[in-house]
Amino acid sequence: MSQNAQDDPASLVPELASLQAVARSISDAVLRTVQWQNDMLSEEMGAPVWLKMENLQRTGSFKIRGATHKMRRLMATRPGLRGVVAVSAGNHAQGVARAAASAGVPATVVMPENAPITKVQSCRRMGATILLHGENLEQARELADRIALEQDLAFMHPYDDQDVIAGQASCGLEMLEDCPDMTVAVVPLGGGGLLSGIALALKLQRPDIRIIGVQTETVAPYRHFLTDGQFEPVAPGAHTIADGIKVKAPGRFTSPLIARFVDEIVTVDDNAIAEAIVATLERTRTIAEGAGAVGLAALMRGKVRLRPDDRAVVVISGGNIDMSLVGRSIDYGLASSGRLMSVAVTIPDSPGRLLALLRTVAALGINVRHVEHRRGELHVPVGKTEVILQMETRDFAHQNELLQQFAAEGMNARSMLID
């Protein structure tokens, strides 16, 4: 793409041959990630479903694709390049750090102060200078811009750049090569670099493929974009476990491509994302971060409707989840899908009553993970004890069966949320 494309978003539609050339040029630095049909998901969805496992990519996400191409373009067009600076919640940072290290170029990355520790440490190991600044990407960007100006560094945008988009398109090319009869692509949407790149790669070959972008419910500036062309403001304190797509500022270059080539945009909440993280772990034996699992979450929650003759490819875009969040995300996902529950049961505080309670639980094939007693609290009558049981169940029907059995035995039980 020409320099004019950088100045005019409407002209940012490359030829397929140029995208294919980019894919070849970065193939030495980018893994061709596995894409396999998942039998269990296919059966549940009523149509064949493939997972494009970008969580197994170098640096743990698709971002290495765009970062590598952008770095090589900078090396070719800016003789005497002094260094690069980037802003990122983590995955782009790691892509930039690796690409810069491979090119022998100093890299500075500005991350929000709440960036996942895993991603911060990974970037530092690859030699990048990491600066933590601000509460979000927008505030981090202010510092990155200032550093770029003061130190004469090239800024590497995480998504709103023609070279980055072209690099991400290599993922879409692989998707179609590995599933030539695909009819649906489900792709995470943050700033839009991955979605617009994949959309280009697919639509330039097969305009009939339905392309669906997925945002998180609380950070969804593109929610109604395809219907009214407007961006939805994001609340200042918006929170999501999908930190990798917590992008409030839509792209100048990505948005026209999304408007032209993307068919639908849907959203999913954190409950659905947590369930998808668990599903990825169980069904692929790999880990997905929140942002990487949103496409699968949309499929599992019925936000993406498949026909029996569809062939769907879902992009698992990254696996760089903070280890401190893994256990909580798994419990959250299990609880939201009915496989983990906490119940408070009030029983007489006398010998043998706890044993009787546990026998009732065991008779229904329920496993107890944790038991806690509460005595002497205002809501617990004198002579009684409240027993908190955290248990593993099959589904919500199984949980209701237990509550009904407690009621039949005259026990006062209430379901509690998992903390």
What residues are annotated to the active site?
63, 317
Amino acid at the residue 164? V
Residue 48: alpha-carbon gap to chain centroid: 22
| HEC per residue, 268-282 | ECHHHHHHHHHHHHH
| Residue 397, C-beta contacts closer than 8 angstroms, at least 6 positions apart | 338
Q: For residues 419 and 4, what is the distance between their CA atoms, to the nearest angstrom?
A: 53
DSSP 379: T
User: Up-side HSE of residue 39: CA atoms within 13 Å toward CB?
Assistant: 0
Cα→Cα distances 114→132, 134, 244, 337, Å: 8, 8, 12, 28
Radius of gyration of the chain (CA): 24
For residue 416, the surrounding DSSP H or E stretch is strand 412-416
392 burial level (CB within 10 Å; 0-12, 13-18, 19+): middle
Query: Which residues lie across from 185 on neighbouring strands?
Result: 211, 313
